[in-house]
Amino acid sequence: MQADPTQVAAYERIELALGDITREHVDAIVNAANSALRGGGGVDGAIHRAGGPEIMAECRKIGYCAPGEAVITAAGKLPARFVIHAVGPVWQGGGADEELLLASCHERALELAREHGCRTVAFPAISTGAYGYPARLAAPVALAATNDALIRLPRIEKVRFVFVDEEMRGVFEQALALLEKSA
């Protein structure tokens, strides 16, 4: 019997895993998207390649998503039901509201997940690749924003951050340990 998610501390509903986000069997996969929603490299390109042209067709209809925001599409051939395209900030040294925008895109992604009945969500490390956000600074922001959103959204049972390498997972593990201590 599974525990009632409303009775579980929010940070306990966050998992960190190594793997391929395009193979996650969750309700929604979050894509580290660009504002034009046109696909790209890294996670974005992998999701579009694995999901097929249906995702891009829906993205073209939407057209644009501002940094700090998120939009949702079907998941095409992915094992998830939805792809949530979250646009993180490009790192500009920390003085251009990067922290606020990174937190916002995580929160908005989870709000969209809830609005669409999702209980499980997989995230990449948004903005830490081509957008240059230092992982050691991004991890605590991403995890705190996710934790805060989970407090408000108890029907979301599990958020899994999926990383392609152990180094990134380690950075997020350290940030999650600090979050747990502060709770």
For residue range 94-111, what is the model confidence (pLDDT) as tens digits?
999 999 999 999 999 999
Alpha helices in the chain (DSSP H): 42-51, 53-62, 98-115, 135-152, 166-182
Mean pLDDT of 20-32: 98
Per-residue pLDDT tens over the stretch 10-20: 889 999 999 99
Domains and CATH numbers, the chain: 5-182 (3.40.220.10)
Annotated catalytic sites, by residue?
44
Mean pLDDT of 128-148: 97
Global pTM? 0.94
**What does the block give as tokens for 18?**
């190594």
Kindly tell me if the per-residue pLDDT of 47 is higher than 70: yes
Bridge-based pairing of strands 70-74 and 82-87 is antiparallel
Q: Is 178 helix (H, G, I), strand (E, B) or coil?
A: helix
Residue type, 125: A
Per-residue pLDDT tens over the stretch 52-70: 999 999 999 999 999 999 9
Model confidence at 1, pLDDT cuts 50, 70, 90, reads very low
Sign of the CA dihedral with 145 first, then 16, 114, and 130 last: positive
Kindly tell me if the per-residue pLDDT of 31 is higher than 60: yes
Give me the sheet containing 28-33, strands edge to edge. Answer: 14-18, 158-163, 120-123, 28-33, 82-87, 70-74
Task: Tell me what pLDDT residue 165 has.
Answer: 95
Residue % of the chain over a pLDDT of 70:
96
Task: Tell me what pLDDT residue 119 has.
Answer: 98
Model confidence at 182, pLDDT cuts 50, 70, 90, reads confident
Query: Alpha-carbon distance 110 to 114, whole Å?
Result: 6
Mean pLDDT of 110-132: 97
Q: What is the largest CA-CA distance in the chain?
A: 47
Residue 68's contacts (CB-CB under 8 Å, 6 or more residues apart) are 87, 88, 89, 100, 101, 102, 104, 105, 108
